[in-house]
Amino acid sequence: MKKGLGKYVLIRLVGAVPLLLVVAVIVFVLLQYAPGDPAELMLGMDATPENVAQMRVKMGLDKPLHVQLLRFLAGLLRGDLGTSWQSGRPVAEEIGRTLPVTAYVSFVAIVISSVVGVLVGVLSAVRQYSLVDNIVRVVVLAGVSMPVFWLGLMLIVVFSGFLGVLPSSGWGTPKHLVLPAVTLATYPLAMITRLTRSSMLEVIRQDYVRTARAKGLSMRAVIVHHALQNAFIPVVTVIGIQFGVLLAGAVLTESVFAIPGIGRLTVAAVFARDYPVIRASVVLTAAIFVLINLLVDISYTYLDPRIRYDN
């Protein structure tokens, strides 16, 4: 571990607590302004006004707002996320069930897109305006513009329908992972490729690269040790952001492939006005971004020795 890094991480983590509390308050307040009565929605149109009133008491919605808010924040600080109004199960259990699924798919997707994206991006930059570069640029444009929904369906049609080699939907075996991971990887892959290419193009024109080449170093050594390391900082930032976006849940992909992930959980909760689940999932997403940003910042110190956090 680098000097001062431990203290830096500690400060950042402690600093995240008030930030998350502010996020929690904001999401609480925003939900108060969301149209629709959770109790009424839960009971549907068969309910009488008395039924709805009874339900509101059961859900704690009859309490004054500040009491509801304080209960929520106090629970959060104790690590108690409450109980889902829809399923009646603890929110922690619901998230514990869905987050690992999303995390697994997202991790595989981000690994695919980072590895392939960086390699193709470098290749494309080094061979600027070559046939390879032109093909890459067209494919990247397609990748960025392709709706995941459509892509997912096309993959199902081809690999489950025509070829019959992969299951169309569901969760459980590694085979179930392939199509969703590839679908999810497409956009970040295109982004990472494009960014790696432009970042590399900038770096390989620098004097020190020319110097390195002039010293007689091989092209490969120059690219890997000199150029790539410097070009990598913006790329790592984007990888981090994309990973965070994937972890927050990709509802379209999860719906198309019927994966029990956190994206579907959250969206279902929004439609049902299941406040405890919405709040927990928003705070969790904020926490994930805090954590990923921290990891990205730490990675900078390894990529660029000039970046230090010890003062």
Per CB under 8 A, contacts with other proteins among 78-107 are 86-89, 97-98, 101
Query: Cα-flanking dihedrals φ and ψ of residue 102, to 5°?
Result: -65, -40
Cα–Cα distance between 283 and 79 in angstroms, integer? 12
By beta-carbon proximity to other proteins, the closer residue of 11 and 165 is 165
Q: Which is nearer to other proteins, 98 or 242 (CB)?
A: 98
Q: Which of 5, 73, 148, 258 binds other proteins (CB under 8 A)?
A: 258
| Residue 98 and residue 261 in contact, taking contact as beta carbons nearer than 8 Å | yes
- Contact assessment for residue 226 and residue 261, using Cβ atoms and an 8 Å cutoff: no
Binding residue (CB under 8 A) for other proteins from 40, 62, 133, 202: 40
> Considering beta carbons, is residue 189 or 247 the nearer one to other proteins?
189
Cα separation, 59 vs 85, whole angstroms: 7
Binding flag, residue 41, other proteins (CB under 8 A): yes
Question: Residue 35, interface with other proteins (CB under 8 A)?
Answer: yes
Residues 221-250 that bind other proteins (CB under 8 A): 223
Q: Is position 202 an interface residue for other proteins (rule: CB under 8 A)?
A: no
34: tokens are 């969301």
Contacting other proteins within 265-284 (CB under 8 A) = 265, 271-273
Q: Which of residues 180-199 bind other proteins (CB under 8 A)?
A: 181
Q: How far apart are CA 174 and CA 178, in angstroms?
A: 7
Burial-class residue 205 by CB neighbours within 10 Å (0-12, 13-18, 19+).
exposed
Per CB under 8 A, does 134 bind other proteins? no
The amino acid at 43: L
